[in-house]
Amino acid sequence: MRPDRSEAIILQSIPSRERDKLIVFLTPEKGKRKGWAYGARGLRNRFGAALEPLAKVELVFLEKESEEAVRIESASMIRSAFPAQQELARSLAATYIAESVETFVQADDPSELVYRLLDRIVEALLAGRPVEPIVAYAEVWILKLGGVFASIRHCAICQKPLERPLRCDIRGGFVCSGCAEPGVTLIANRVAELLGALLSTPVDAFAAMPIAADDLFELRALARDLRRYVLGHELKTHDLLQSVIRG
Amino acid sequence: MTAAPLANLINELSRLPGIGAKSASRLAYHLLKRPAVEAEALAHAILEVKEKIHRCGVCNNMTDVEPCSICSDARRDPSILCVVEEAFNIPTVEATRDFRGLYHVLLGSLSPLKGIGPDDIDVAGVVRRARSGSIREVILATNPNVEGETTALYVAQQLRGLEVRVTRLAFGLPVGGDLEYADQVTMAKALEGRREI
């Protein structure tokens, strides 16, 4: 067994047994992985705060072919998300985004784009940008990188350029008027523009934009409907986050 | 082939937290070697605890009397409430001998990923006690991790507007540790919470 080394972002830290933790982490090269951190529950453990959710770390781990979870040997902190987790809405948003990534990223599948997305999103949370636009950005991009949120330029069925207003068929993405079946959702032009801006703007710039609350609500509702259709259920952290964001 | 009663004991022991199959087997064989009276004492202690121990109706601590010995201790300061996640956190705070206030056990921490929301823990009990008017300070002694911090923030939010001072246990360097090995979050928190000497 040779030690492997990788930069990673911690997605979940699950207390297990008397003194250990099972860690779910995302690496750019190998996607989502699981690893045992022995002794990590103790107050004076060698990992410190490096295994807390959304910490960016340099991990050294040992891998056995016969075992799904690696053994985490060390974790050096590159950047902690803890300062962003000192505010309730921001902390819940961080947990929600980590759950979204964990849900949509496959194990052992290279995930450089998702990794970079998550990295920038955590930066935006740490920079104190408004929480809800960051959450919307994460929701749409995680769906897009997961192959759920289709192109807003071409019809998902006939590939013709899409006209306004956009029509969203929850089963297959955005469709043109010719391909649209009864029951498609019409997207208001201002929401379509917001979606276009979201898909072409870095997260910190998007979160700094003046965005009407109604437009953000509608955009998030679109992402929510697609996500629920794909998963068949809602993410566990969604409702609590919403109750805190909406006060 | 393990005899059925022994296999049953190993199986039951291995269901305890922190006990794997090997430890359960070792414990079972140890019990077999000991006199029957010791096994009876252990079995009796387990049954007695299940029969007599319940949650205190005031603070959720584990107790055999109502209210618990801490809630009914007139020498304690009823104006300070220390909020912990679990009843087993109380002896840790008590061991300091510095805290003479009362406790409230939340019965867990907010953990949306595990499906544990605000209604699954006893935040309402803390708010109810804080509203009673006799509490001057609420100390949030939840675990120093993201879940504990989120729980503390949530409880603090629920207490907003009440005339109660809400404080959080300090984060910092462990006594007897070495500065060289402190991680950046703990170090940053220790610097933030530095005090004049």
Instruction: Give the residue-averaged pLDDT of A44-61.
Output: 91
Which DSSP string corresponds to A114-153? HHHHHHHHHHHHHTT--HHHHHHHHHHHHHHHTT-S--SS
Beta carbons within 8 Å of B28's beta carbon, 6+ residues apart: B6, B9, B10, B13
**3-state DSSP assignment of residue A7:** strand
In chain B, residues 122-181 whose CB comes closer than 8 Å to chain A: 144-146, 149-150, 153-154, 157, 174, 177, 181
Count of Cβ atoms closer than 10 Å to residue B144 Cβ = 20
From the list B145, B177, B185, the residue facing A44 with the nearest CB is: B177
Does B115 sit within 8 Å of A236, measured CB to CB? yes
Distances (CA, A) of A211 to A8, A121, A124, A141, A194: 32, 18, 16, 18, 8
Q: Tell me which long-range contacts B156-162 makes (C-beta under 8 A, separation of at least 24).
A: B157/A88, B158/B123, B158/B126, B158/B127, B159/B126, B159/B127, B159/B130, B162/B127, B162/B130, B162/B131
The secondary structure element, H or E, covering residue A79 is: strand A70-79
Does ipTM surpass 0.85 in this model? no
Is residue A44 scored above 80 in pLDDT? no
Break chain A into its structural domains and give their ranges.
4-80, 87-246
Percent of all residues in chain A with a pLDDT value above 90, rounded to a whole number: 74
Query: CA of B168 to nearest chain A CA: how many angstroms apart?
Result: 12
Contacts 24+ apart (CB under 8 A), A64-72: A64/A1, A68/A34, A69/A22, A69/A33, A69/A34, A69/A35, A69/A36, A70/A4, A70/A33, A70/A34, A70/A35, A70/A36, A71/A35, A71/A36, A71/A38, A72/A23, A72/A35, A72/A36, A72/A37, A72/A38, A72/A47
Tokens of residue B174, six digits: 């462990």
d(CA A109, CA A97): 19
Answer whether CATH 3.40.50.720 is correct for domain B77-168: no
pLDDT per residue as tens digits for the range B133-182: 899 999 999 998 899 999 999 999 999 999 999 999 988 887 877 888 78
Joined tokens for residue B75: 């020498």
Residues 6+ apart with CB under 8 A from B160: none
- B185:A77 CB<8 A: yes
Q: Which residues in chain B touch residue A49, judged by CB atoms under 8 angstroms apart?
A: 183-186
Between the CA atoms of B19, B21, B27 and B31, what dihedral angle is there, to the nearest 10 degrees?
130
Residues in chain B closer than 8 A to A10 (CB atoms): none
| Residue corresponding to tokens 């006690």 | B129
In whole angstroms, what is the distance from residue B187 CA to residue B147 CA? Answer: 20
Integer Cα distance of B193 and B172 in angstroms = 8
The reply to whether B116 touches chain A by the CB within 8 Å rule is: no
Q: Looking up tokens 């805290």, which residue turns up?
A: B99
pLDDT greater at residue A121 or residue B133: A121
Comparing CB atoms, the residue among A52, A237, A239 nearest residue B145 is: A52
Task: Fill in the amino acid letter for B122.
Answer: D
The reported pLDDT for the residue numbered A98 is: 96
| pLDDT per position as a tens digit, A13-26 | 998 877 899 999 99
Low-confidence ranges of chain B (pLDDT < 70): none
Q: Under an 8 A CB cutoff, do B146 and A237 touch?
A: no
A102 pLDDT above the threshold of 90: yes
Is B149 close to A236, i.e. CB distance below 8 A?
no
| Residue B77 neighbours by CB under 8 Å, 6+ apart | B100, B101, B102
- CB-CB neighbors (< 8 A) of A46 in chain B: 181
Q: What is the largest CA-CA distance in chain A?
A: 64
Distance between B113 CA and the closest CA of chain A, angstroms: 6
Q: Are B48 and B37 in contact (CB under 8 A)?
A: no
Class level of CATH domain A4-80: mainly beta
Question: Which CATH code fits A87-246?
Answer: 1.20.1440.120
Whether the CB-CB separation of A49 and A77 falls below 8 Å is answered with yes
Report the gap between the CA of A104 and the closest CA in chain B (Å): 15
Q: What is the rounded average pLDDT for all residues in chain A? A: 92
pLDDT at A63 over 80: yes
pLDDT at A113 over 90: yes
* Res. A43: pLDDT tops 80: no
Instruction: Yes or no: say if A119 and A161 are a contact pair by the CB < 8 Å rule.
Output: no
Residue pair A170/A226 in contact by the 8 Å Cβ criterion? yes
Q: Which of B118, B149, B174 sits opposite A91 (nearest CB)?
A: B149
What is the pLDDT, as a whole number, of residue A228? 94
What is the spatial distance between Cα A170 and Cα A177, in angstroms, rounded to a whole number? 15
Q: What residue in A sits closest to B155 (Cα-Cα)?
A: A88
